[in-house]
Amino acid sequence: MESELFVHKLIAGVDEVGRGPLAGPVVAAAVILDETKPIEGLADSKVLSATRREELAHLIRERALCWALGRAEVEEIDRLNILRASLLAMKRAVETLSLPPELVLVDGNQAPELGYPVQTIVRGDASVPAISAASILAKVTRDAEMCELDRQFPGYGFAQHKGYPTSVHLGALEKQGVSPIHRRSFGPVQRLLGNIAVTHCK
Protein backbone atom coordinates (compact mmCIF):
# COMPACT_ATOMS: atom_id res chain seq x y z
CA MET A 1 0.00 0.00 0.00
CA GLU A 2 2.80 2.44 0.85
CA SER A 3 4.29 2.29 -2.66
CA GLU A 4 0.89 3.26 -4.08
CA LEU A 5 0.38 6.09 -1.60
CA PHE A 6 3.75 7.71 -1.90
CA VAL A 7 3.82 8.08 -5.67
CA HIS A 8 1.95 11.29 -4.81
CA LYS A 9 4.34 14.11 -4.03
CA LEU A 10 2.09 16.33 -1.95
CA ILE A 11 0.49 14.10 0.65
CA ALA A 12 -1.44 15.74 3.46
CA GLY A 13 -1.86 13.82 6.70
CA VAL A 14 -4.92 14.77 8.73
CA ASP A 15 -5.96 13.99 12.29
CA GLU A 16 -8.07 15.51 15.03
CA VAL A 17 -7.93 15.68 18.81
CA GLY A 18 -10.77 16.23 21.24
CA ARG A 19 -13.66 13.95 20.40
CA GLY A 20 -13.94 12.49 23.88
CA PRO A 21 -13.74 15.52 26.22
CA LEU A 22 -16.78 17.09 27.87
CA ALA A 23 -15.43 20.60 27.26
CA GLY A 24 -13.53 22.68 24.75
CA PRO A 25 -13.22 22.57 20.98
CA VAL A 26 -12.19 19.75 18.69
CA VAL A 27 -8.95 20.65 16.90
CA ALA A 28 -7.63 19.17 13.66
CA ALA A 29 -4.33 19.55 11.83
CA ALA A 30 -3.23 18.91 8.27
CA VAL A 31 0.46 18.48 7.44
CA ILE A 32 2.39 18.04 4.20
CA LEU A 33 5.87 16.85 5.13
CA ASP A 34 9.02 17.66 3.17
CA GLU A 35 10.74 14.41 2.16
CA THR A 36 14.08 16.23 2.04
CA LYS A 37 13.75 17.23 5.71
CA PRO A 38 12.83 14.05 7.60
CA ILE A 39 11.70 14.22 11.22
CA GLU A 40 12.77 11.34 13.43
CA GLY A 41 10.43 10.01 16.09
CA LEU A 42 7.03 10.82 14.61
CA ALA A 43 4.37 8.66 16.27
CA ASP A 44 0.81 8.69 17.54
CA SER A 45 0.66 11.73 19.84
CA LYS A 46 -0.99 9.66 22.58
CA VAL A 47 2.13 7.54 23.11
CA LEU A 48 4.51 10.49 23.38
CA SER A 49 5.31 12.52 26.46
CA ALA A 50 4.17 16.13 26.55
CA THR A 51 7.80 17.27 26.32
CA ARG A 52 8.49 15.11 23.29
CA ARG A 53 5.28 16.28 21.60
CA GLU A 54 6.38 19.90 22.05
CA GLU A 55 9.81 19.13 20.58
CA LEU A 56 8.32 17.38 17.58
CA ALA A 57 5.69 20.07 17.06
CA HIS A 58 8.48 22.63 16.79
CA LEU A 59 10.27 20.50 14.19
CA ILE A 60 7.06 19.92 12.22
CA ARG A 61 6.31 23.65 12.03
CA GLU A 62 9.92 24.28 11.01
CA ARG A 63 10.46 21.51 8.46
CA ALA A 64 7.08 20.67 6.92
CA LEU A 65 6.28 22.01 3.45
CA CYS A 66 3.12 23.41 5.00
CA TRP A 67 0.72 22.80 7.86
CA ALA A 68 -2.61 24.18 8.99
CA LEU A 69 -5.08 23.92 11.84
CA GLY A 70 -8.85 23.67 11.83
CA ARG A 71 -11.35 23.61 14.65
CA ALA A 72 -14.97 23.28 15.60
CA GLU A 73 -16.25 25.17 18.60
CA VAL A 74 -18.43 23.88 21.44
CA GLU A 75 -21.55 25.43 19.90
CA GLU A 76 -20.87 23.60 16.63
CA ILE A 77 -20.24 20.32 18.45
CA ASP A 78 -23.57 20.62 20.26
CA ARG A 79 -25.42 21.63 17.10
CA LEU A 80 -23.88 19.17 14.62
CA ASN A 81 -22.78 16.25 16.88
CA ILE A 82 -19.16 15.41 17.62
CA LEU A 83 -18.51 13.30 14.51
CA ARG A 84 -19.73 15.94 12.07
CA ALA A 85 -17.92 18.65 14.01
CA SER A 86 -14.69 16.62 13.87
CA LEU A 87 -15.01 16.19 10.11
CA LEU A 88 -15.70 19.92 9.80
CA ALA A 89 -12.51 20.71 11.74
CA MET A 90 -10.53 18.40 9.44
CA LYS A 91 -12.05 20.00 6.35
CA ARG A 92 -11.12 23.46 7.63
CA ALA A 93 -7.54 22.33 8.28
CA VAL A 94 -7.06 20.88 4.80
CA GLU A 95 -8.66 23.85 3.09
CA THR A 96 -6.32 26.22 4.96
CA LEU A 97 -3.14 24.55 3.64
CA SER A 98 -1.02 26.90 1.56
CA LEU A 99 -0.30 24.09 -0.94
CA PRO A 100 -3.07 21.98 -2.52
CA PRO A 101 -2.46 18.32 -1.68
CA GLU A 102 -2.54 15.62 -4.34
CA LEU A 103 -3.77 13.10 -1.78
CA VAL A 104 -5.26 13.47 1.70
CA LEU A 105 -4.70 10.67 4.21
CA VAL A 106 -7.12 10.79 7.13
CA ASP A 107 -6.75 8.90 10.39
CA GLY A 108 -9.67 6.58 11.11
CA ASN A 109 -12.43 5.24 8.90
CA GLN A 110 -14.38 8.40 8.08
CA ALA A 111 -13.25 11.46 6.15
CA PRO A 112 -14.62 14.90 5.37
CA GLU A 113 -15.84 15.77 1.89
CA LEU A 114 -12.96 17.47 0.12
CA GLY A 115 -12.05 18.54 -3.36
CA TYR A 116 -9.02 16.23 -3.31
CA PRO A 117 -8.50 12.45 -3.43
CA VAL A 118 -8.96 11.10 0.10
CA GLN A 119 -8.04 7.83 1.76
CA THR A 120 -8.84 6.81 5.33
CA ILE A 121 -6.33 4.76 7.31
CA VAL A 122 -7.29 3.13 10.60
CA ARG A 123 -4.52 3.74 13.14
CA GLY A 124 -2.85 5.95 10.59
CA ASP A 125 -1.52 8.14 13.39
CA ALA A 126 0.75 5.26 14.35
CA SER A 127 1.82 4.19 10.85
CA VAL A 128 1.83 7.19 8.47
CA PRO A 129 4.33 9.96 9.30
CA ALA A 130 2.20 12.79 7.89
CA ILE A 131 -0.79 11.68 9.98
CA SER A 132 1.44 11.30 13.05
CA ALA A 133 2.64 14.86 12.50
CA ALA A 134 -0.95 16.10 12.25
CA SER A 135 -1.86 14.22 15.42
CA ILE A 136 1.02 15.85 17.29
CA LEU A 137 0.24 19.38 16.10
CA ALA A 138 -3.44 19.02 16.90
CA LYS A 139 -2.78 17.69 20.41
CA VAL A 140 -0.13 20.28 21.30
CA THR A 141 -2.44 23.05 20.09
CA ARG A 142 -5.50 21.80 21.93
CA ASP A 143 -3.61 21.03 25.15
CA ALA A 144 -2.21 24.57 25.22
CA GLU A 145 -5.67 25.99 24.69
CA MET A 146 -7.13 23.89 27.51
CA CYS A 147 -4.40 25.22 29.83
CA GLU A 148 -5.46 28.75 28.90
CA LEU A 149 -9.12 27.86 29.47
CA ASP A 150 -8.11 26.52 32.88
CA ARG A 151 -7.03 30.06 33.78
CA GLN A 152 -10.29 31.50 32.47
CA PHE A 153 -12.46 28.87 34.19
CA PRO A 154 -10.56 27.77 37.31
CA GLY A 155 -11.59 24.89 39.50
CA TYR A 156 -12.39 22.31 36.83
CA GLY A 157 -8.82 21.11 36.33
CA PHE A 158 -8.75 21.63 32.55
CA ALA A 159 -4.95 21.98 32.56
CA GLN A 160 -4.65 18.44 33.96
CA HIS A 161 -7.38 16.42 32.24
CA LYS A 162 -7.87 18.64 29.14
CA GLY A 163 -11.64 18.30 29.45
CA TYR A 164 -11.82 14.51 29.45
CA PRO A 165 -14.37 12.92 31.83
CA THR A 166 -12.04 12.01 34.69
CA SER A 167 -13.33 11.61 38.24
CA VAL A 168 -11.77 14.98 39.12
CA HIS A 169 -13.58 16.66 36.24
CA LEU A 170 -16.92 15.03 37.02
CA GLY A 171 -16.57 16.00 40.67
CA ALA A 172 -15.82 19.60 39.73
CA LEU A 173 -18.84 19.64 37.43
CA GLU A 174 -21.08 18.51 40.27
CA LYS A 175 -19.59 21.12 42.59
CA GLN A 176 -19.26 24.12 40.26
CA GLY A 177 -21.88 23.47 37.63
CA VAL A 178 -21.61 23.74 33.87
CA SER A 179 -19.24 26.32 32.38
CA PRO A 180 -19.68 28.11 29.02
CA ILE A 181 -17.12 25.77 27.42
CA HIS A 182 -18.84 22.52 28.39
CA ARG A 183 -20.53 20.48 25.68
CA ARG A 184 -24.18 20.43 26.60
CA SER A 185 -24.98 17.56 24.23
CA PHE A 186 -22.65 15.17 26.08
CA GLY A 187 -24.25 12.76 28.55
CA PRO A 188 -22.68 13.79 31.89
CA VAL A 189 -23.24 17.50 31.18
CA GLN A 190 -26.74 16.87 29.87
CA ARG A 191 -27.65 14.88 32.98
CA LEU A 192 -26.32 17.58 35.28
CA LEU A 193 -28.30 20.24 33.45
CA GLY A 194 -31.39 18.04 33.71
CA ASN A 195 -30.94 17.66 37.44
CA ILE A 196 -30.54 21.42 37.84
CA ALA A 197 -33.69 22.00 35.83
CA VAL A 198 -35.63 19.57 38.02
CA THR A 199 -34.25 21.21 41.17
CA HIS A 200 -35.28 24.65 39.96
CA CYS A 201 -38.80 23.41 39.27
CA LYS A 202 -39.34 22.23 42.85
List the domains of the chain with CATH numbers. Answer: 2-152 (3.30.420.10), 158-201 (no CATH)
Average pLDDT score over the chain: 93
pLDDT by residue (tens digit) across 11-67?
999 999 999 999 999 999 999 999 999 999 999 999 999 999 999 999 999 999 999
CB of 157 within 8 A of CB of 163? no
Sign of CA dihedral 190, 196, 198, 200: negative
pLDDT exceeds cutoff 60 at 198: no
Cα–Cα distance measured from residue 33 to residue 11, given in angstroms and rounded to the nearest whole number = 8
Percent of residues, the chain, with pLDDT higher than 70: 92
> pLDDT band for position 4 (50/70/90)?
low
Identify the three-state secondary structure at position 119.
strand
198: amino acid identity, one letter? V
Distance separating the N- and C-terminal Cα atoms of the chain: 62
Identify the three-state secondary structure at position 58.
helix
pTM for the full predicted model: 0.91
Cα–Cα distance measured from residue 16 to residue 93, given in angstroms and rounded to the nearest whole number = 10
